[in-house]
Amino acid sequence: MPQENSKTLSIVIPVFNEINFLRKLFEQIKKFFNNEYTEVIIVDDGSNDGSSDLLAELKKKYNYKFSLKIIRLDINSGKGKAIQIGIKNSNGEYVLLQDADLELDCKDAKEMFEMISTNKEIKCIFGSRYLSGKLKKNNYFFNNLVGKINSLIFNIFFSQSLSDVHCGLKILHRSVIEKIQLSINDFGIEIDLASQIVRNNFFIYEFGVSYFFRSKVQGKKITWVDGLKSFYYLIKVRFFDNSASTNLSIAYSAVYMAFVGSYLLCIW
């Protein structure tokens, strides 16, 4: 629960070896979120490229109106784990999840915050790289294809109509945060988060965002292996991460359908 002195907005940013992007990231945060109602929580996920030293420098060098927390993890534990730790250390009425690599624009994050904070019926907004006519740069066909397939499977499994489950830019109201228990520690966190939001009967709104891909040379970390693992996570969150009564219902339905199917085959 947020305290009396809590902020309106908590921005949670996982960081792993992002030394080439941190200065510009801080410039964007200062441009769009430099106010006393915002806290920025950087979770340094075991960086070994000098990012930790640069973060310490950026914290000391500039006077920000927003409060700044830097949480250092000794070993690389994964994006999902970093997000979980950041959320646990947040106090804001709203929690914004933002990547550090600048593939997603802080300007869009600002627009999403303004939208959710002025409409109390909206509790959750996901950014989508596949909506709107905003500027995009992306030539990773396989990653793009897997992302769309995963979104399609998620929609089938959970009766949703989302265009981009994997977009890293999301904003959630505190009431959503208090209902979810995240457990996936790697890039599967996006599927974990979306499935728990839906299970708790919150509606997910989408907002079209700009997207500027970066190459592996520039430090992109997600690979085809993560794409394959995402299929496993989709199966896991739909068919295994359920209450005992739900699992019993699924098992009963499967047995019943098998019996009916066998009976019909015998008749024919």
The pLDDT tens digits for 217-226 are 665 666 667 7
Per-domain residue ranges of the chain: 9-267
CB atoms within 10 A of CB 136: 14
pLDDT at residue 250 in the model: 47
Question: Among 179, 10, 152, 30, which Cα is nearest to 94's?
Answer: 10
The pLDDT tens digits for 86-106 are 999 999 999 999 999 999 999
Q: What is the spatial distance between Cα 191 and Cα 151, in angstroms, rounded to a whole number?
A: 9
| β partners of residue 11 | 40, 96
Residues 6 or more apart whose CB falls under 8 angstroms from that of 6 comprise 91, 92, 93
Q: What is the spatial distance between Cα 123 and Cα 207, in angstroms, rounded to a whole number?
A: 13
CATH topology of domain 9-267: Spore Coat Polysaccharide Biosynthesis Protein SpsA; Chain A (3.90.550)
pLDDT at 263 over 60: no
Residue 93 DSSP code: S
pTM comes to 0.85
DSSP H helices, the chain, are 22-33, 51-61, 79-88, 106-117, 141-158, 174-177, 189-199, 224-239, 244-267
The pLDDT tens digits for 103-160 are 999 999 999 999 999 999 999 999 999 987 788 777 677 778 888 999 999 999 999 9
The pLDDT tens digits for 14-40 are 999 999 999 999 999 999 999 999 999
